[in-house]
Structure 1
Amino acid sequence: MGMWELVVVLIVGLIVLGPERLPVAIRTVSRWIKTLKSIANSVKAEVNEELRVHELHSNLKKAEQQDMSNLAPELQESVDELKKAAQSVRHSYQDKSAAPPSKKD
């Protein structure tokens, strides 16, 4: 929207809604826009994460097909990242299982 289009919308809004209700309407519309932007950003972030996971999965399949030897640098990087993630998950499970059971008397 250009500057003049915005001015026309504000003038029409002022005539239709009046000076009492126009500020409330502007706040409401701005809240809707902020909500829509936040939803769009969260969807975008989720799609990007899914694409990254899919890329890692396809790289792992390529690495398995090459028997994990003489890998391209990008494949080796993906495999290393997956190994780190697996180790962090394994450590968190080991920490939980290593904790002594609580006594119930």
Structure 2
Amino acid sequence: MTEWKKICAVSDVPVLGSRVVESEAHGRIAIFRNSTDEVFAVRDKCPHKAGPLSQGIVHGKTVTCPLHSWKIQLDDGQVVPPDVGCVKHFPVKVDMGEVYLEL
């Protein structure tokens, strides 16, 4: 059974920025909002050197890790080639201006 957890209002996530939430089961989760108000969620840990993705630069549907510039696709957690790897991605929905995560 799917469990959606209300996290925050969309307006609480800065445009081209992030907000971090703690999950007992999953650790730090970064919630991102891009320039077209799409919202994404991934584990806040780059697969390269564990950099805090929440401090990265958001562009389109990608975030660039602040440590070594690895690019992570926010819609599925995959690393952009030529680098390889992935981060855990969390399904997100927005309803009535509120962000929900599937945990």
* TM-score interval for Structure 1 and Structure 2 normalised by the shorter chain: under 0.3
Q: TM-score, normalised by structure 2?
A: 0.18
Higher RCO (CA-CA < 8 Å; seq separation 6+): 2
Higher strand share: 2
Higher helix share: 1
| Structure of higher CA gyration radius | 1
